[in-house]
A and B are shown apart, each in its own frame.
Chain A
Amino acid sequence: MSHSVTFRNLTKKYGENTAVNGIDFSIKEGEFFTILGPSGCGKTTLLRMIAGFNSIENGEICFDDRVINDIPAYKRNIGMVFQNYAIFPHMTIQKNVAYGLKARRLSKQIIAERVDEILQMMHIKQYKDRDPSQLSGGQQQRVALARALVIHPTILLMDEPLSNLDAKLRIEMRIAIMKIQKEMNITTIYVTHDQEEALSMSDRIAVMNSGVIEQIGTPKEIYSKPATAFVAGFIGTSNFLEGEISEGAMNGCTISIEGTLKLELALNKPVIGKVDIAIRPEDIYIEQPQERGMNGTISLVTFLGDYISYEVQLDNGKLLEVNEYSKDTDQLRTIGDRIGLRLSADKINVYDQETKEAIR
C-alpha cells in the first residue's frame, strides 16, 4: 500500500536566507518523484524537512491526510538512503539491515525472514556477515537501500544516492532502483542535481531553483516544454537567442531572431518587444548560407560518435551549439565552413524577459 505526500505553502528560512519558499504541490501514491536542481537550490533542505531532520515552522507536510509537522523523525517511518550511504561501520550487513526492524521490536524470526528476503531481492545475500568496509560502493548502496526498504516505510527518500558511484555502476544502480521501486510500489522522493538521472528514472520531476519550484511535469514535458528560461537552461542544453516582436496578436505574430531570421509563431500572451528564445542543439539544422538568413561560421567541431556537436559563430558574434546526427549525415564539417541555420519552428520556446516564463 502506498501513500501520497502533500506540501502546503512550505517555507524554511535560515536567518535572512530563504532555503525553501512557499512550496505547494502533491506527490501521488506510488509515484517516483524527483526534485531536481542545482546545489544550494533548497532541495536537500526540503528532503530533510520531510525526513524530520529540519524542523517545519511555516506550512505543512502531509502523508495522506495526516500532518506530520510535529512527528519526530524517528516516528515518521520513512526509508532514507543517504548520499554517502551512512552504513553503520560497526555492524555487519545483516545487522545493518536488521537495525530498523529491531527498533520496531519485531520477533527474531520475523526479523530474520524479512532481512533475508530483502537481501535476496537486492542480490547481496552472500555478503550478509561481512563488514561494510569489505563491500564496494555499489554493494554498499544496495545495503543502504535494503536497510531503508526492509522497514516497509511509508515513503522512500533518496538523497543523491548515486553521486559517489562511477558512471557505469551508476547506470546499473539506476535500473536496480527503478525496478525495485516499481516492484514494491512505494512512493519515492528522489533528490538529485543530475538531470540525466532525473529524466531517466522519474514519473514526474520538480525543477527547483532558489527555494521555489520552477516547473513540475513528466520528463518529456520538462524537456520539450520548459516552463521557464531557467528550466530550459538547466535541463539539457539550450541555445538562448534574442528575439523581437514588433507587432502581433495571440494567434500569430512575427518574431525576428537575432535580427535576421523571421518566424511566424502563435503565443499564448500578447507581448511586444524583446523576448528570449530557447532552442535545443538538435532542433537547429545546418544548410547552405542564405542572403538575409541566419548565417555563421563553424568555430569548433566535437565528434562524439553518435552525433557531432558544432560550435557556430553567428555573423553578429554570438556562439551557438548545433548537433548533427551520424545516422542523418556522413558529412563532417570543418572549422571555418560558412553555413546557414534553420530553426525548427515548433521546437522553439519563447520566454518573457521580465517574468522569465514561457509565453509559448
Chain B
Amino acid sequence: MSQPVLPNVGKESPRAKIRWKMPSFWTLVIIGFLVLMVVFLVYPFGSLFLKSFFHPETEKLSFVNFMDFFTTPYYFNTLKHSLAVSGTTTVLATLIGVPLAYIMTRFNVWGKSVINIMIILSLLSPPFIGAYSWILLLGRNGFITNLFEKIGIILPTIYGFQGMILVFTLKLFPFVYMYVSGALSTMDSSLEEAAENLGMSRIRKLLTVTFPVIVPTITAGALVVFMTSLADFGTPLLIAEGYKVLPVIVYEEYMSDIGGNVYLASTLSTVIVLCALLVMFVQKFIVSRKNYRMSGLRPPVVQKLKLGNRLLLTAIAFFISLFAVTPQIVVFITSFIKTRGPLFVSGFSLESYRTIGFKLSKNITNTFYFAGIAIVIMVILGLLLSYVVVRRKSFITSLLDSLAMFPYVIPGSVLGIGLIMAFNKGPLLLTGTVTIIVVSYVIRKLPFILRSSSAILYQIDPSIEEASISLGVPPMRTFFKTTSVLMLPGLFAGAILSWVQTINELSSTLILFSGKTGTISVAIFTEIFKDSYGTAAALASILSVATVISLLIFNKFSGGRSVMM
C-alpha cells in the first residue's frame, strides 16, 4: 500500500508569501549527481564514441572508421579473437564452476573451508598476475617447461589463444562458483524433494529442477566471466603475443607514438562496448524470462557420502582449487628467490623486497592512497545515489542509475583513453594528476557499490524514515540519523570488496599514470617487461597480502555474508 513519496517537503519559509522555495536536500543531491555525471561520464565517453562516427580527415559524419574496421582483417580478426577467447572462457568457467559448486554445497567433502579460502584467494588478484606466473611455470624459460625438456618432452606453447584460455578459465571460474554455490545453498529443498517424490532420478532431478531454477544465477556468473575476459588487457599483453584481442589494439592504436589513430581507437572502443552491451542484454533477457522467486525456508541438506566417493569428490574439488591458486603460490615463492639481474639463482633471500623498498615504495603508498580516497568518495556517492535511485524514483533518477551503471560495460583501457582525451586540455586539465586516477577508480567501481547499497536499501523499511520525520526530524537529518546508519555496515563490506579490486586495478591506471602516480600493479607490469621477475613477484605478494588482510576485515564486518554481494 505504499504510494510514491514526493520529494517536495522543502524548508518552510517563514514568510509564506515568497513563492520561491529552497530546493530540498534530495533535489540538490540529484542536481549534483547530474552535474558530476555529465562532466565525468557523458562528456568523455559521449565524445569518445561520437568520434568513431566522424571521418578522421574531413571530420564529417561518416562510417568510414567502421568500414575500415570490418574490411581490414588485422582489425576485424581482433574482434573474432576477443569473442573466441571470451566465449570459450565463459563456457569452460561455467563447466567447472557449476559442478564444483554443486559438489561443495551438497556433499560432505573434507576441508571445505580450506578449499573455499583457496578459491577466494585466487579470485582476488588481477588476471595478469595469473598470466605472469603461468609464464614462470610454462613459458619459454618456465620452470616446468625446463623440467620436461630435461627428460625430452617438449610442452605445447602457452603463448596465444590457449594461454589466455588457461589463465582466464582458472582465474574466472571462481565467479561462477561463488554465485552458484550461493544460490544452491539457499534454494528451498522442498523443490528438489518434490521432484524426487514425483519419481525423478537424481540426474534428471538436477537437469529438470535444480539447474533450471538457478539459471539466472548461472548466467549472472557467466556474464561476469565474459565481461572480465573481454575487457582484460594485462593478460593478453603478457601472454597473447601475436594473437591480438580488442583491448590490446585499442591501447596500441591510442598509444602508438605520435599520431596514434584516435579515430580508430574510438571505433575499436565503440565495438568493444557494443559487444559487452549486447551480451549483457542477452543475459538480462534470459533472466527476465526465467526469474523465479523462491522462499528458501528450508535450506538443502548436505548429503553424507561413503568413503570412496567422499575421497573422490574431495580430491576433485581440492585439485581444481589448487590449480586456481597456483599463481598466488608461485608468485609468493618467487618473491623470495635470489636473483641476479633477470635470472633466478638458487637460494632464498629478501633481496627483491629490499629493491622495492629502495626503488618502488612510492608506488606502494600511491596504491593505498589513491584507493583510499576513491573508496571514501565511492561510499559517499553510493550512499546518496542509491538513495535517490531507490527512494526517489523518477525519470531523472532512473536515468542517473543507468548512467552510473554504464561504466560496467566499459573496459578499463577504454575508460582510461576516454578520460585522457576529455581532460588533456582546459578547462579541466587533469591528465597526469592523482585526480584523474581517482576519478577512473570511482567511475569503474561505482556500479558495484551502487548495486550493493541499493540491495541493502531495499531491505530497509521506508517507514523507518517516515517515523523519524513525523517525530520532527527534517528529511536530511533523518537520512543521516536512520537510513544511512542502517546501511553503513553492509556498505562498508561492499566497500572493502571495491577496495580490493581497486588496489589491484591495472587497465585504466596503466593508461592514466604518469611518472609520479604509478601504482603497485603498474610497477609489477613494468617490472615484468624489464624482466625483473623477482621484484614483480615481491610487489605481487605485497598486493596479495594487502588483499588477504582486507578480506579478513571484510569477514569481520560482513557477519558471515558471502564475498559476492
**Interface check A249, CB cutoff 8 A:** no
Name the residue on A nearest B473 (C-beta): A103
| B451-489 to A contact mask, C-beta < 8 Å, 1/0 | 000000000010110111111111100100010011000
A82 and B471 within 8 A (CB): no
| A64-84 to B contact mask, C-beta < 8 Å, 1/0 | 000000111111111110111
Which residues of B, 1-53, contact A by the 8 Å Cβ criterion? 1-6, 8-12, 16
B9 and A52 within 8 A (CB): yes
* B residues in contact with A45, CB < 8 Å: 3
CA–CA, A222 and B468, complex, Å: 36
Give the one of B10, B16, B466, B471 with max A CB within 10 A. Answer: B471
A89 and B486 within 8 A (CB): yes
* A residues in contact with B12, CB < 8 Å: 70-72, 75
| B75-97 to A contact mask, C-beta < 8 Å, 1/0 | 00000000000000000000000
CA–CA, A75 and B3, complex, Å: 21
* B residues in contact with A40, CB < 8 Å: 1
A82 and B3 within 8 A (CB): no
* B residues in contact with A88, CB < 8 Å: 464, 467-468, 482
Name the residue on B nearest A57 (C-beta): B6
B471 and A55 within 8 A (CB): no
Name the residue on A nearest B475 (C-beta): A74
A73 and B485 within 8 A (CB): no
How many A residues are at the interface, by size bracket?
35 or more
CA–CA, A70 and B468, complex, Å: 19
How many B residues are at the interface, by size bracket?
20 to 34
B470 and A74 within 8 A (CB): yes
B470 and A44 within 8 A (CB): no
* B residues in contact with A103, CB < 8 Å: 471-473
Residue in A54, A70, A72, A80 whose beta carbon sits within 8 Å of that of B474 in the complex: A72
CA–CA, A40 and B3, complex, Å: 11
CA–CA, A87 and B486, complex, Å: 12
B470 and A39 within 8 A (CB): no
CA–CA, A13 and B487, complex, Å: 33
Name the residue on A nearest B485 (C-beta): A90
CA–CA, A264 and B471, complex, Å: 58
B472 and A53 within 8 A (CB): no
**Interface check A151, CB cutoff 8 A:** yes
* A residues in contact with B463, CB < 8 Å: 82-84, 86
Residue in B2, B466, B482, B486 whose beta carbon sits within 8 Å of that of A80 in the complex: B466
Question: Interface SS of chain B: helix, strand, loop or mixed?
Answer: loop
With contacts A70-B16, A72-B12 taken as known, whether A52 is within 8 angstroms of B470 at the C-beta atoms is yes
Residue in A44, A52, A75, A76 whose beta carbon sits within 8 Å of that of B1 in the complex: A44
Name the residue on A nearest B462 (C-beta): A86
CA–CA, A41 and B266, complex, Å: 56
Question: A324 to chain B: closest CB distance in Å?
Answer: 38
With contacts A86-B467, A88-B464, A100-B471 taken as known, whether A39 is within 8 angstroms of B1 at the C-beta atoms is yes
With contacts A48-B3, A72-B9 taken as known, whether A86 is within 8 angstroms of B472 at the C-beta atoms is no
CA–CA, A19 and B9, complex, Å: 20
* A residues in contact with B11, CB < 8 Å: 72
* A residues in contact with B9, CB < 8 Å: 52, 72-74
Name the residue on B nearest A73 (C-beta): B469
Question: A111 to chain B: closest CB distance in Å?
Answer: 13
CA–CA, A318 and B73, complex, Å: 81
B472 and A75 within 8 A (CB): yes
**Interface check A3, CB cutoff 8 A:** no
With contacts A55-B6, A80-B467 taken as known, whether A74 is within 8 angstroms of B1 at the C-beta atoms is no
Question: B384 to chain A: closest CB distance in Å?
Answer: 19
With contacts A74-B469, A84-B461, A86-B466 taken as known, whether A14 is within 8 angstroms of B3 at the C-beta atoms is yes
The 6 lowest CB-CB distance pairs between A and B, nearest first, are A100-B471, A103-B472, A86-B467, A86-B463, A72-B9, A80-B470
Sample 28 A-B pairs with CB under 8 A, ordered by A number: A19-B3, A39-B1, A51-B470, A52-B469, A52-B470, A53-B5, A54-B3, A54-B5, A70-B16, A71-B12, A72-B11, A73-B466, A73-B470, A74-B473, A74-B474, A74-B475, A74-B478, A75-B472, A79-B470, A80-B466, A86-B467, A88-B468, A88-B482, A90-B482, A90-B486, A148-B471, A151-B471, A151-B472
Q: A48-B3, A74-B470 are in contact. List 19 more A-B contacts (CB 8 A).
A: A40-B1, A44-B2, A51-B466, A53-B5, A53-B466, A70-B16, A71-B12, A72-B9, A74-B471, A78-B470, A80-B466, A86-B461, A86-B466, A86-B467, A89-B464, A89-B486, A144-B467, A151-B472, A157-B470
Mark A residues whose CB is within 8 Å of B: 14, 19, 39-40, 44-45, 48, 51-55, 70-80, 82-84, 86-90, 99-100, 103-104, 144, 147-148, 151, 157
